[in-house]
Structure 1
Amino acid sequence: MVLADASLDLIGSRLKSWRQKRGMTLDELSAATDISASTISRLESGKRAPNLELVVPIARALRLELDDLVPRSVPDPRVPRITKRVGEVTYVSLSPDSSPVQTYKVTLPATPPGTLVVPELRVHDGYEWLYVLDGRLRLVLGEHDVVLGPGEAAEFDTRTPHWLAASGIGPVDLLTIFSKEGKRIHLRARPTPSGNNN
């Protein structure tokens, strides 16, 4: 059985490296595996395709696991870009859904001048960290009512009554990290079509 993966081209050179680390000659490895020294040599140089019938006994003789020889596939590190809108608030995902904490770039809309804003405090399980990228953020947390500018951060237990919004005439962009429970509370809308992502 041939191991058919282009990334397996490195198996031969890995075998040679491990054989040399073990201080074994081709003849000694041949004697331990009943595989001819010439076959092992061709496998090490890439002139012979690796297959299980060759690799398994060689790995056993070198006291290796197959994981030591077969390169593990590395998943694509890019995070799928998903934008969700909840009312006028936009959330852009910056972490995979499987992550234990959820990271988002959040855009809060501007507060029109002269608008009377009454904070609607919320409470839920979890913990939240945020960092202001652009604009001014008003954060009401318990008895605190503060305004944060670009480069400022805050963190808090979301079981404390809290509320946040843009302060001033422009929108505010921030990074926020919260737990799975926080994600459930914050995002209750369907994703927008990919063509509408910001």
Structure 2
Amino acid sequence: METTPGADVAAILDAIGPRLRALRQSRELTLAEAADASGLSISILSRVETGRRQPTLDVLIPLARTYQVALDQLVAAPATGDPRVHLEPHRHSRGGIVVPLTRYPTRVQAFKHVVGPRTPHLVSHEGHAWLYVLAGTLRLIVGDDELELHPGETAEFDAAVPHWFGPANDTAAEILHLFGPHGHRAISRLDHQEA
């Protein structure tokens, strides 16, 4: 039995409220906290989540910003053939914006990391790290060594050694960051260099 276009739209709209509630709860926010962060009233947010108010763009846009998701993730519109993956950036506790590229907590993880100016504070923890500079100049301190890495350059180190990285100047640096949480390393099958 075929559904009518109107029924499809109604089903999409009906699913938005529960999706908003699930997103809010996954971020461990109360209604009051989500309302405060988004600039919406608690009553509007509550009515949208329970389906008593139809969600409109003036509600969905601030909520997408608050929950740091793409607008179409709130609406779950039908697929359009767009192959892009919507990644979820978040603010790192030690500064900068981190975009997880993989979701494998027990294996090597990949991140895109935009690091803004910050004061050096060396840390150490279990694991193994590999950095690749995409843009800007990265200052890297590992133990007693200090390096400046430029776009296209890489560094690899044991995260148990006290380390820190950040921009070498007032301009943000953008890096790819591979991290093996238990000392795991990325496996190289080819190490070919020109003679």
TM range (shorter): 0.3 to 0.5
- The two structures have a TM-score, normalised by structure 1, of 0.46
- The two structures have a TM-score, normalised by structure 2, of 0.46
Query: RCO (CA 8 Å, sep 6+): is it higher in 1 or 2?
Result: 1
